[in-house]
Amino acid sequence: MARMHSKGKGKSGSTKPSSKKAPEWSNSDKKDVEEIILQLSSEGHTSASIGTILRDKHGVPDARLVTGERISQTLDRLGKSSRLPEDLMNLMRRALRIIDHLTNNSKDVHNRRQLELCESKIRRLSRYYKENNRLDQDWTYKRDQLRLMVE
């Protein structure tokens, strides 16, 4: 969804090497990795930041190769998942930052347009999550209640 409202064709970048098992030098004990994931989740880290911390500090290049599932799936299985998906929460935080900016800069029409685009992404993503039963069917995005949902 990164290039939904622009003309860009995407962002170039490196791809991870395809491998079926964890490297020999890595920390490949499944129980240890799950304990670290639980500890980092209880500290308030998101699943993306948990993956970065595992890579940089604990010698786990890819948690999926060790545990056999994604970090978010591990958190779901262990009962530590958040009530809203991470990408939806990030979009809502972005919308909140734009709203705060627009309260101080009311004539900024370019960011008013960016707020509309961000809110349309939120509505579109929430529709997807409702269809896949990751969100309640009665959940709706409301700009006046956004601060309560994010915090």
Query: Looking at the domain covering 86-150, what would its CATH class be?
Result: mainly alpha
What's the one-letter identity of residue 128?
A: Y
The Cα 105–Cα 71 span in angstroms is 39
Question: Does the pLDDT value for residue 92 go beyond 90?
Answer: yes
The Cα 147–Cα 100 span in angstroms is 10
Domain extents for the chain?
30-77, 86-150
What is the predicted pLDDT for the residue at 2? 54
Question: Does the pLDDT value for residue 133 go beyond 80?
Answer: yes
What's the one-letter identity of residue 23?
A: P
pTM (2 d.p.): 0.80
Query: What average pLDDT does this structure show over 121-147?
Result: 93
Closest residue by Cα to residue 87 from 134, 33, 144, 42: 134
